[in-house]
Amino acid sequence: MAARGSAPQLDGAAAASTLLKRAVELDCTSRYQEAFVCYQEGIDILLQVLRGTKDNAKKCHLRQKISDYMDRAEDIKKFLEQEKEDGKYHKQIKIEENATGFSYESLFQQYLNAAVTEVWIEDPYIRQTHQLYNFLRFCEMLVKPTSKVKTIHLLTSMDSGDGKTQQTSGLEEIRESLSKHGIDLEIEFSSSIHDREIRGVLHLGIVILT
């Protein structure tokens, strides 16, 4: 019975260790925003482990670890806030290949306030069925009541093979669907585009989303 009761704590401690180890790695490579998120999540799990710990020595050890990580997280938070005030802040999230758990809402929803009325998307690979579907999913996020976006500008490349018809018809269907929600989709094709980028326009300027 004792072994079964301690399993959740062991699992929690292992999960916290993994997150905090990743936080330190990101911290050391100056990826502060991502490090801050990992610190927060790791600290939250450690606090849960602490609440379930009976041994006083382990409690003392956990409190010290939590305090150390919280101090570093607070330092990063202050740094990021100062960067924002100085106009130097640029958030970049690197998603590793085959990574899971990332949704459009988790990545972009925080930026879609009342001030964002237009979105620019540059993606050379909106051609095949799954790519068109992903673009549609992104657009669905922009038609939610909390979003004030009125125009989406898409810059992509034209499929030069058999998929050209599928690409153009798929984009046209998305355009017609968006128009029913009061959003204009403006599509432009380029043969020189290579990188992906999404920008949102505020009333007072441009904010880089990714």
* pLDDT tens-place string over residues 40-91: 988 999 999 999 888 899 999 999 999 999 999 999 988 888 877 766 555 5
pLDDT at 162: 81
- Whole-number percent of the chain with pLDDT over 70: 75
Do 120 and 79 have their domain in common? no
Residue 96: inside a domain: no
Average pLDDT along the chain: 79
Do 64 and 148 have their domain in common? no
207 beta partners: 200
Do 24 and 80 have their domain in common? yes
Do 108 and 197 have their domain in common? yes
What CATH number corresponds to the domain at position 186?
3.30.870.30
What is the pLDDT confidence band of residue 202, given thresholds at 50, 70 and 90? very low
What CATH number corresponds to the domain at position 59?
1.20.58.80
Q: pLDDT of 9-50, one tens digit each?
A: 447 788 888 889 988 998 898 888 888 888 998 899 999 999
156-175 b/e with 16+ CB inside 10 Å = b? Answer: bbebeeebeeebeebbeebb
pLDDT at 64: 93
Do 32 and 116 have their domain in common? no
- Between CA 201 and CA 76 the distance in angstroms is 27
- Return the higher-pLDDT residue of 156 and 97: 156
Q: What is the tally of structural domains in the chain?
A: 2
**pTM surpassing 0.75?**
no
Residue 38: inside a domain: yes
Do 18 and 70 have their domain in common? yes
Handedness of CA 159, 165, 171, 172 (dihedral sign): positive
Q: Residue 141's domain spans which residues?
A: 104-208
Residue 98: inside a domain: no
